[in-house]
Amino acid sequence: MTTSAFSTPGHWIGGEAVTGSTGTITVSNPATGEAIAEIPAGTAAAVDRAVAAARAAFPAWAATAPAERAAVVRRIAEGLGARAEEIATAITAEMGSPISLSRTAQVHFPIAVAQAFTALAADFDWTEELGNSLLVREPIGVVAAITPWNFPLQQIVSKLAPALIAGDTMVFKPSEIAPLTARILAEVTAEAGLPAGVFNVVYGTGAVVGEAISAHPDIDMVSFTGSTRAGRRVSAVASETVKRVALELGGKGANVVLDDADLEQAVTIGVAMAFTNGGQVCGAWPRLLVPAWRQDEVVALAVAAAGQYTVGEPTDEATRIGPMASEEHRRKVHGYIERGIADGAKLVFGGPGRPEGLERGAYVRPTILADVDPASEAAQEEIFGPVLTIIPYADEDEAVEIANSTIYGLTSGVFGAPEHALAIARRLRSGQVDINGAQWNPLAPFGGYRQSGNGREFGRLGLEEFLETKSIQR
């Protein structure tokens, strides 16, 4: 693959490609280490220019009828569908998602989210009577979006669709590790009829562009998805201008398997929720909590399920786990595996080192650790890789205590008889809980408790994040 395979000629500001950087950033294919593109290293000046474009476009876009705004979002969803293969290929190249996953989740999830928001807009109560008051829901203004590399299109569409329907304009900083779909999205928005300046893209690092965005006085809101560490920094910088901050941060989801669960179903789905996208999912379930007396049975099922996750070149249709998104991240995940074993966990699958035959590229061996101490680093910290920790518990009270014991609270799963599982789900301090592998619902709010963030994405609550409420007394 050559550097000419993907093109990102400049930032996207005011509806066109523009220059404005102190150099370039190389985008590498994590499967090979080869350079595949160059993006501009954005500056605070580029952020200023993008914010000015968004601010200038705001009055007209905010005055556009919600139905018209929703129609544009609908056309954006259609445009993404028309370029689905191009998007899938770019995501696989830039961050190593297996091509089969890129074609499904990486492309079709954001399309489904955009479509769900357009349907929601038709029935949304933009005004409400409350006694002698008229409540009016209005766009918040210029919104900044900062997103990570693991689901590069999904993360921005989950912010862009509700922001556009709300009437906001946007400045977007994609991850410098996986920035290639940002240009495709910008082109699709223009083709869908989005006015120039409503959506702007500034490439660059968090240390430069992210800081400038968070501190900018003319940005009314920052919607950030990424690590808890980076989220703390965004909050601290943004607090100087008292702008709204929505954070979707790290997770350490627990999959609580009850004694009346369908064990094979619970473990099979649990392994999938730990290994999908190489475990690089904030909503993953890397902790599998099981009755102590059934741990050996669970281990056997988990090892059998893990054996089905082929590790390999991400362009291969048979691959289920590709490389980690970067060599730096590979080393981080590998270190967690080594420390988990050193801390006393029992290695039952995988382990340190690269998979056989994959000496080049950011690959790790999918790993299962059993009999894990719930207070250990492997059970407490977000590894963000294909590492499943099996944790035994003595009774349900201990299971709930362990599930709630981390600083996170984003997603969890419970498997058991439906009413029994529901009772346990109510006790979990988690923003989203799936019972018995329930189907994903793009209208249900998604977000975390504690240091998994604040605010919600998707559905009515996700739209309200991008709105201000005015009270008019009459």
For residue 299, CA distances in Å to 267, 349, 380, 392 come to 9, 9, 20, 11
What global pTM score does this model have?
0.96
Q: What is the pLDDT of residue 5?
A: 63
CB 401 within 8 A of CB 379: no
Report the CATH fold assignment for 254-447. Answer: Aldehyde Dehydrogenase; Chain A, domain 2 (3.40.309)
Coil vs helix vs strand at 260: coil
Q: Residue 346 burial by CB count (10 A; 0-12/13-18/19+): exposed, middle or buried?
A: middle
**What is the C-alpha to C-alpha distance for residues 433 and 319, in angstroms, rounded to an integer?**
29
Choice among 68, 78, 85, 282 that is catalytic = 282
Q: Compute the distance between CA of residue 175 and CA of residue 199 in angstroms, rounded to an integer.
A: 17
Establish whether 282 is a catalytic residue: yes
Residue whose structure tokens are 């400045």: 171
User: What's the CA dihedral at 190, 75, 152, 227 to 10 degrees?
Assistant: 100
Q: Name the residue with tokens 């139905």.
A: 67
CATH class of 11-249+452-473: alpha beta
* Residue partners of 205: CB distance under 8 A and separation at least 6: 25, 41, 42, 176
Where in the chain are the domains? 11-249+452-473, 254-447
Digitized pLDDT (tens) for each residue of the chain, 474 residues in all: 333 467 667 999 999 999 766 799 999 999 999 999 999 999 999 999 999 999 999 999 999 999 999 999 999 999 999 999 999 999 999 999 999 999 999 999 999 999 999 999 989 999 999 999 999 999 999 999 999 999 999 999 999 999 999 999 999 999 999 999 999 999 999 999 999 999 999 999 999 999 999 999 999 999 999 999 999 999 999 999 999 999 999 999 999 999 999 999 999 999 999 999 999 999 999 999 999 999 999 999 999 999 999 999 999 999 999 999 999 999 999 999 999 999 999 999 999 999 999 999 999 999 999 999 999 999 999 999 999 999 999 999 999 999 999 999 999 999 999 999 999 999 999 999 999 999 999 999 999 999 999 999 999 999 999 999 999 999
pLDDT value at residue 9 = 73
The pLDDT assigned to 6 comes to 72
Rounded Cα distance, 242 and 244, in Å: 7
Any residues with CB less than 8 A from the CB of 290 and at least 6 apart, and which? 257, 298, 390, 391, 392, 393
Residues 6+ positions from 57 with CB-CB distance below 8 Å? 169, 195, 196, 197, 198
Cβ partners under 8 Å of residue 82, min gap 6? none
Please give the angle made by the CA atoms of 243, 246 and 251, to the nearest 5 degrees: 145
Cα separation, 19 vs 204, in Å, equals: 12
User: Phi first, then psi: what are they for 311, rounded to 5°?
Assistant: -100, 135
Can 176 be counted among the known catalytic residues? no
Q: What are 110's two structure tokens?
A: 């954001």
Is residue 308 classed exposed, middle or buried when 0-12, 13-18 and 19+ CB atoms within 10 A define those classes? exposed
DSSP annotation of 170 reads E
pLDDT for 22 equals 78
In the beta sheet, which residues pair with residue 454? 247
Residue 365 in tokens: 């061996």
What token pair was written down for 342? 């050193």
Q: Which of 176, 248, 313, 457 is catalytic?
A: 248
- How far are the Cα atoms of 142, 298, 363, 368 from residue 392, in angstroms, in the given order? 48, 10, 29, 14
The gap from C-alpha 99 to its chain's centroid, in whole angstroms, comes to 18
SS3 193: coil
